[in-house]
Amino acid sequence: SQQGEEDPQALSIQEGENATMNCSYKTSINNLQWYRQNSGRGLVHLILIRSNEREKHSGRLRVTLDTSKKSSSLLITASRAADTASYFCATVPGTTGANSKLTFGKGITLSVRP
């Protein structure tokens, strides 16, 4: 079953613009992780945010977590054509340890137009 639900399902922006993707989940979490997948290829780990954290940054990426709303957002600033990919959020349940299975959302397709 899908725990995370990403929104929107697809996003098309111009190079240089910011891209914001949202993820909502249903049950308590230990942590939430964002991944990128280029067409049919492997999953690249972008960032992990723990349930007691509210915001994390990594380069052009900014992730926020609101546990009261059970939601997270991924912001990519100054997007590039190379950011075109599918983005997934995935959660680790709060009832298990940090090193437990991930439950994935269906993903967001981001297209960055040159």
Partner 1 sequence: DSGVTQTPKHLITATGQRVTLRCSPRSGDLSVYWYQQSLDQGLQFLIQYYNGEERAKGNILERFSAQQFPDLHSELNLSSLELGDSALYFCASSGNFGQFFGPGTRLTVL
Instruction: Point out which residues bind partner 1 (CB under 8 A).
Output: 2, 31, 33, 35, 40-45, 47-48, 88, 90, 96, 98-107
**Residue 94, SS3?**
coil
* Cβ neighbours of residue 9 closer than 8 Å, sequence gap 6 or more: 106, 108, 109
CB of residue 31 to partner 1, shortest distance in Å: 8
DSSP bridge pairs for 72: 23, 65
Which of residues 1 and 14 has its CB atom nearest to partner 1 in the complex? 1
**Residue 42, SS3?**
coil
Which of residues 44 and 78 has its CB atom nearest to partner 1 in the complex? 44
Structure token digits, residue 3: 């725990």
CB of residue 99 to partner 1, shortest distance in Å: 5
Which of residues 15 and 100 has its CB atom nearest to partner 1 in the complex? 100
